[in-house]
Amino acid sequence: MNILITGIHGFVGSNLVIALKGHHSLYGLDIVAPEKEGVVKTFSWKDIETTSFPMQFLPKFDAIIHLAGKAHDTKNHSASQVYFDINTGLTQKIFDFFLESSAKKFIFFSSVKAAADSVVGDMLTEDVIPTPVGPYGESKIAAEEYILSKLRSEHGELKVAMQRDKQVYILRPCMIHGPGNKGNLNLLYNVVKKGIPWPLGDFENKRSFTSIDNLCYVVEGLLTKDVASGIYHMGDDEALSTNELIALMCEAMGKEPHIWKMNRKMMESCAGLGTLLHLPLNTERLRKLTENYVVSNEKIKSALGIDRMPIRAADGIMKTIRSFTAESTE
């Protein structure tokens, strides 16, 4: 297949190139265009505007994977409009291009944060009514809504022509990790690496993660199998607690874990005091650190005809942490 990947120089894009280059011809679309092994050519966003670069001069793409976006800024330094300009605006632009192109498959990387900031009930499924909180999740759901609006007739059903000719997948992964990742997992790793004790061991929360290897496997499946268009959540099979995550990190580093089970009610009282005094540990931060966020991957597995993801959650985490350790010793 001829596949166009936006944001091809990012973390996920770079891993997809490694996974797909042996069986497909890959093209990039990015704000920078250095040469990349396994990539035939990288275009700029201006190139896909038919007024400046007629479509007949572009390769005939079979599929488009849209990764480009503004990542979640956990420090909240980014202006809200930036998220909508990039996450929503670029999605509208590339999806319009897809509709006019010969490509038959479109994979949009949204996020579970487009569905919910916090999970109500045991796990997050695709039938949840989206309630994003903050500009990141809101800009992602706006992009999803634009795609869906283009696929539906005025009566709400999927257009027959789209059902027959094109397949569109909205993928909502939870936290993606793997070698080369620069996210929240790195922050926790650096805390554990310094031997700083984790005082919240009394909270047995569970969170879903997405190994980059499992993600690449799913994308390959969507490209090569006849899967129905729709929204699909993405995560590993097993959810992990923060305590398990720290234990795995320590195992990878050859260290003893320092997990303190400070009294839960006492920590909640300290967090309440922190809210009043504007301290680093406040009620909201404690909630974020200790809440459950379990994502169901049953729909995507059923669509691909598999019982399990190829990589266990613990094995994926170990691979990621060992890559952090290798980087720090170089």
Give the start-to-end residue ranges of the domains of the chain: 2-182+207-239+294-310
When comparing pLDDT for 75 and 196, which is higher? 196
Q: Once rounded to an integer, what is the mean pLDDT over residues 260-279?
A: 89
Is the confidence at residue 161, as pLDDT, over 50?
no
Helix, strand, or coil here: 76? coil
Is the confidence at residue 52, as pLDDT, over 60?
no
Is the confidence at residue 160, as pLDDT, over 50?
no
Q: Once rounded to an integer, what is the mean pLDDT over residues 241-267?
A: 91
Instruction: Express as a percent the part of the chain with pLDDT over 90.
Output: 60
Q: Rg of the chain over CA atoms, in angstroms?
A: 21
Tell me which DSSP letter residue 259 carries. Answer: B
Inter-CA distances, 55 with 50, 81, 147, Å:
6, 30, 21
The amino acid occupying position 140 is: K
Q: How confident is the model at residue 293 (pLDDT cuts 50, 70, 90)?
A: very high
CATH of 2-182+207-239+294-310, one of 3.90.1150.10, 1.10.287.110, 3.40.50.720, 3.40.190.10: 3.40.50.720
Residue 26 CA to residue 211 CA, distance in Å, equals: 22
The amino acid occupying position 271 is: A
When comparing pLDDT for 84 and 159, which is higher? 84
Q: Once rounded to an integer, what is the mean pLDDT over residues 107-125?
A: 94
Question: Element (H or E) spanning 275, and its range?
Answer: helix 264-277
- pLDDT score of 129: 95
Q: Once rounded to an integer, what is the mean pLDDT over residues 37-51?
A: 82
Q: Is the dihedral of CA 281, 286, 290, 293 positive or negative?
A: negative
Q: Once rounded to an integer, what is the mean pLDDT over residues 43-50?
A: 78
Q: Where are the beta strands (DSSP E) in 104-193?
A: 105-109, 167-173, 176-177
Averaged pLDDT score across all residues of the chain: 88
- pLDDT score of 300: 98
Q: Once rounded to an integer, what is the mean pLDDT over residues 202-213?
A: 93
The count of other CB atoms within 10 Å of the CB of residue 46 is 9
Whether the model pTM is above 0.85 = yes
Per-residue pLDDT of 57-111, as tens digits, reads 678 999 999 999 988 665 555 688 999 999 999 999 999 999 989 899 999 999 9
Q: Once rounded to an integer, what is the mean pLDDT over residues 195-201?
A: 88
Q: How confident is the model at residue 328 (pLDDT cuts 50, 70, 90)?
A: low
Question: What are residue 234's DSSP bridge partners?
Answer: 173
Is the confidence at residue 16, as pLDDT, over 90?
yes
